[in-house]
Amino acid sequence: MDKSIKPSATSRKSGKKSLLEREDFLAYLFIAPPVLLITIFLFYPVANVFYHGFQHHNLMRPWVDGFAGFDNFVNIFTNDNVFRSSLVISLQWVVAQVSLQLIFGMIVALLLNNAFRLRGLVRTIMFYPWAISGVLTAMMWNMMYQQHVGVINAILLDFGIIESHIAWLANPDFVLGSVIIAGVWRGIPFFAIMILARLQTISADIYEASDVDGASSIQKFVHITLPHLKESIVLATLLRTVWEFNAVDLIMNLTNGGPARLTTTLTMYIVNTAVTDQNFGYGSALATVSFIILLLFAIIYLKASKFGQEE
pLDDT (tens digit, 9 = 90+) per residue, 273-305?
998 889 999 999 999 999 999 999 999 998 988
Q: Is residue 142 packed enough to be buried (19+ CB in 10 Å), middle (13-18) or exposed (0-12)?
A: middle
Q: Is the model's pLDDT at 265 over the cut of 80?
A: yes
Confidence of residue 152 (pLDDT cuts 50, 70, 90): very high
Q: Phi then psi for 269, rounded to 5 degrees?
A: -65, -40
Is residue 246 pLDDT above 50, yes or no? Answer: yes
- Are 254 and 136 in contact by the 8 Å Cβ rule? The answer is no
pLDDT reported for residue 6: 53
CA angle 294, 295, 300 (to 5 degrees): 100
Position with higher pLDDT, 10 vs 296: 296
Confidence of residue 105 (pLDDT cuts 50, 70, 90): very high
Residue 236 pLDDT grade (very low, low, confident, very high; cuts 50, 70, 90): very high
* Residue 12 pLDDT greater than 80, yes or no: no
Out of 19-28, 158-167, 243-252, 296-305, which region has the weakest mean confidence (pLDDT)? 19-28
Question: Residue 67 belongs to what H/E stretch?
Answer: strand 66-67
Confidence class for position 1, pLDDT limits 50, 70, 90: very low
The mean predicted confidence, pLDDT, of the chain is 87
- What's the CA gap between 152 and 79, in Å, rounded? 41
Q: Which helix (H) or strand (E) holds 56?
A: strand 55-56
- pLDDT band per the 50, 70, 90 thresholds, residue 25: confident
Determine the Cα–Cα distance for residues 237 and 308; give it in Å rounded to an integer. 15
Q: Give the pTM.
A: 0.85
pLDDT given at position 269: 95
Q: Which of 20-24, 74-78, 198-202, 267-271 has the lowest mean pLDDT?
A: 20-24
Residue 59 pLDDT class (50, 70, 90 cuts): confident
What's the mean pLDDT in 246-256? 91
Looking at residues 256-277, what average pLDDT do you find? Answer: 91
Q: Per-residue pLDDT averaged across 41-48, rounded?
A: 85
Report whether 283 contacts 86 (CB < 8 A): no
